[in-house]
Amino acid sequence: MGDNETGQVSEDAARIYEAVYLPALFQRWCPRVSEEANVKPGDYVIDIACGTGALAVAVSGIVGPSGKTVGIDINEGMLDIAKSKSSSVEWINAPAEALPFKDDHFDCVLSQFGLMYFKNQENAIREMIRVLKQGGSLAVAVWDKLDNNPGLAAEEYLWQQVFDGEVDETPYRLGDRGTLDNLFKRSGVTDIQIATHEGTARFDSIESWIHTGAKGWTEDDALGDDQLKLLLKTAEEQLTSFRTSHGTVAFPTSAHIVTARK
Ligand SMILES: C[S@@+](CC[C@H](N)C(=O)[O-])C[C@H]1O[C@@H](n2cnc3c(N)ncnc32)[C@H](O)[C@@H]1O
């Protein structure tokens, strides 16, 4: 599997992810995921594929001093930033497919926008359920299909057109509700709810949006200066419909949150 399929980024890309991608795209999903799992003061919670830690940090504020939050990820660059943000969360470098915890350990198991990248998604879901206490709740967010994410689709097609490559479907491969339902069933979780939520992505400019896609995720080493210039120039020409009257960028996003109880 390549870096884009496993969501692995360099330290430089992790810094851009934290500075731009997180507030633009991911941060606003944290309250929804924690609400879907009904995280409460005193809960013991794990955020799987925590990245730079946005969800775990938000949750540690909810569980308070009588609860506990753990964030796990396999990317040290992402975890380094997470560690610098909060010392009240326990940060662990571990794969979602082999969680270093005993059975029936957590009140809530959360994960946002990571499952698509796991090498073994079924094992990861089995692990999520294994570490969940009886009566505990699971909430997992994944992107909806590209067809329902017009801004993200336009970004993918821009890359395809400029570099004559294939659209990277990895982030959206669980976007079909049937595919998602089947994955959880194959992993032994038969009673799930899938709620589809709308969000909004906001970037300061078209340049910031496309630069972040190029340098704040898995392709950060792939483009030379001239290629990046060409990408940005074509984006300015083709993505104007996503520009607001203030010159910023805003587009709707759609994601599924899967919930289940043990
Ligand atoms: C799009 S980021 C999402 C990060 C974070 N949840 C957020 O909302 O900002 C995907 C994350 O999944 C992590 N990841 C990919 N495969 C993983 C695995 N097998 N186990 C744990 N984390 C994994 C990557 O390292 C990356 O940090």
**175-211: pLDDT as tens digits:** 999 999 999 999 999 899 999 999 999 999 999 999 8
The answer to whether residue 161 sits within a structural domain is no
The residue contributing the CA closest to ligand 1 atom 1 is 113
| 6 Cβ inside 6 Å of ligand 1 | yes
The answer to whether residue 215 sits within a structural domain is no
The answer to whether residue 15 sits within a structural domain is yes
Task: Enter the DSSP assignment of 240.
Answer: G
| 79 Cβ inside 6 Å of ligand 1 | no
Q: What is the rounded distance in angstroms from the CA atom of residue 114 to the CA atom of residue 124?
A: 11
Residue 4 has what pLDDT?
A: 67
Average pLDDT over residues 127-147: 98
Q: pLDDT, tens digit, for every residue of 9-58?
A: 777 888 888 998 899 999 999 999 999 999 999 999 999 999 999 999 99
The answer to whether residue 240 sits within a structural domain is no
CATH classification of the domain holding 103: 3.40.50.150
| 74 Cβ inside 6 Å of ligand 1 | yes
The answer to whether residue 228 sits within a structural domain is no
The residue contributing the CA closest to ligand 1 atom 4 is 51
Task: Enter the DSSP assignment of 222.
Answer: T
Residue 182 has what pLDDT?
A: 98
The answer to whether residue 242 sits within a structural domain is no
- Hunting for tokens 């606003």 — which residue is that? 28
The answer to whether residue 104 sits within a structural domain is yes
Name the domain count of the chain: 1
The answer to whether residue 211 sits within a structural domain is no
Mean pLDDT, the chain, whole residue set: 93
Residue 7's closest CA among 167, 118, 172?
A: 118
Residue 224 has what pLDDT?
A: 82
**Confidence category of residue 3, pLDDT binned at 50, 70, 90:** low
Q: What is the rounded distance in angstroms from the CA atom of residue 143 to the CA atom of residue 116?
A: 9
The parent domain of residue 31 ranges over: 3-145+169-203+253-261
Distance 229 CA to ligand 1 centre (A): 28
- Predicted structure pTM score: 0.95
| 118 Cβ inside 6 Å of ligand 1 | yes
